[in-house]
Amino acid sequence: MPSWKQDLQRTIEEDLNIYQQEALQELKKKAEHEHLRLLQQLQLRPEEEDEQIQQSVEENHHSEKEDEDEPTSRLSLEEEEELANKLANMSTNDTFRALILDPGKFEGSREKFEDWWRSIQLFLTFNKVTTNNDKIIACISRMHNGTAGALAALIADKINSSNKISWKDFEKEMKEAFIDGKEKEKSEVAIETLAQGKRPIIDYLVEFNLLKNKAGTDDQHTVFLLKKTV
């Protein structure tokens, strides 16, 4: 083999050896670097685990504190249902109270008496005021000034002196005091001339019945008037 070929082959082999050595050195450096990185991770991991453990302890403590703050007793299904029904009833009662208002005070006006008297009776019925004394006291506590105030004072004296007064007697005194003495005569005249006209029959019958009660018209004459005017 010519000497120049031998030299070329030798040169190639030397270069290859150099390249292999450099490659090995590079791989060795990378391996050492990776080994160092893994060691660092292993050294840091206990600290991270400690932090995680500490965080877990704090979360558990916070959860336990919340549990302590919460009520220890819980409602049963029956109790929850009962509570829901009570709340529903309260809401319904509030709605009715908005519709059935306190009639307020009465100052003796005969023109306003019938409306006030009807309103106070509805108010007492809705609020379940049933005993004679309670009903009468509820009425006289709203009566002020003039004849109304004087009658209220008289009734209050009777109650305070333990003199019993029935609701029927109280109602009679109220009507005698505040209903026009000529109301009956006026109603008798009005019902004789009442006619339906162009208004609905229901409107006519409502007014007819009111006049009938005020006039004290008997059933036989009532039938006669209805046949005549309808």
Q: How many domains does the chain have?
A: 3
Domain span at residue 121 reads 104-178
* 99 occurs within a structural domain: no
Based on the fold, state whether residues 188 and 172 are members of the same structural domain. no
Beta carbons within 10 angstroms of residue 198's beta carbon: 5
Please give the model's pTM, rounded to 2 decimal places. 0.46
Tens digit of pLDDT at every position of the chain (230 positions): 556 556 656 666 666 666 667 766 776 777 677 767 766 666 655 555 556 556 665 666 555 555 555 444 566 777 767 766 666 555 445 545 556 678 888 888 888 888 888 898 988 888 888 888 899 999 989 899 888 898 889 888 888 887 778 889 888 888 888 876 667 777 778 878 887 788 888 887 888 888 787 777 777 787 777 777 66
Based on the fold, state whether residues 122 and 174 are members of the same structural domain. yes
Show which of 178, 195, 218 is a domain's final residue. Answer: 178
Based on the fold, state whether residues 114 and 169 are members of the same structural domain. yes
* 91 occurs within a structural domain: no
Instruction: Give the torsion sign (CA, 70, 71, 73, 78).
Output: negative
Whether 142 contacts 103, CB under 8 Å: yes
* 62 occurs within a structural domain: no
* 23 occurs within a structural domain: yes
Return all residues near 112 (Cβ < 8 A) that are at least 6 apart.
Answer: 106
What 3-state class would DSSP assign to 103?
coil
Length of the chain: 230
